[in-house]
Amino acid sequence: MKAFIVDRYAKNTPLRLGEVPEPEVGENDVLVQIHAASVNLLDSKIRDGEFKLILPYRRPFVAGHDVAGTVIRVGSKVRQFKPGDEIYARPRDGRVGTFAEYIAINNADVALKPKNLSMEEAASIPLVGLTAWQAMVERAKLKKGQKVFVQAGSGGVGTFAIQLAKHLGATVATTTSASNMDMVRKLGADVIIDYKKDDFEKVLSGYDVVLNSQDNKTLEKSLRVLKPGGVAVSISGPPDPGFAREKGLSVVLNLVTRLLSAGIRRRAKRADVRYSFLFMAANGEQLTKITSLIELGVIRPVVDRVFPLELTNEALAYIEQGRAKGKVIIKVK
Each of the 333 residues of the chain gets a pLDDT tens digit; together they read 999 999 999 998 999 999 999 999 999 999 999 999 999 999 999 999 999 988 889 999 999 999 999 999 999 999 999 999 999 999 999 999 999 999 999 999 999 999 999 999 999 999 999 999 999 999 999 999 999 999 999 999 999 999 999 999 999 999 999 999 999 999 999 999 999 999 999 999 999 999 999 999 999 999 999 999 999 999 998 999 999 998 898 999 999 999 999 999 999 999 999 999 999 999 999 999 999 999 999 999 999 999 999 999 999 999 999 889 999 999 998
3-state SS class at 197: coil
pLDDT number for residue 53: 86
| DSSP character string of 247-297 | HT--HHHHHHHHHHHHHHHHHHHHTT-EEEE------HHHHHHHHHHHHTT
CATH superfamily of 127-277: NAD(P)-binding Rossmann-like Domain (3.40.50.720)
- Closest listed residue to residue 112, CA positions, set 75, 82, 133: 82
Look at residue 12 in the predicted model and tell me its pLDDT.
86
Assessment of whether the complete model's pTM goes beyond 0.85: yes
* DSSP element (H, E) containing 72: strand 67-74
Name the CATH topology of 2-125+301-331. Quinone Oxidoreductase; Chain A, domain 1 (3.90.180)
Q: Dmax of the chain from CA atoms?
A: 58
Domain boundaries, the chain: 2-125+301-331, 127-277
In the three-class reduction of DSSP (H, G, I as helix; E, B as strand; rest coil), residue 89 is classed as strand
Predicted pLDDT of residue 71? 98
pLDDT score at 56: 84
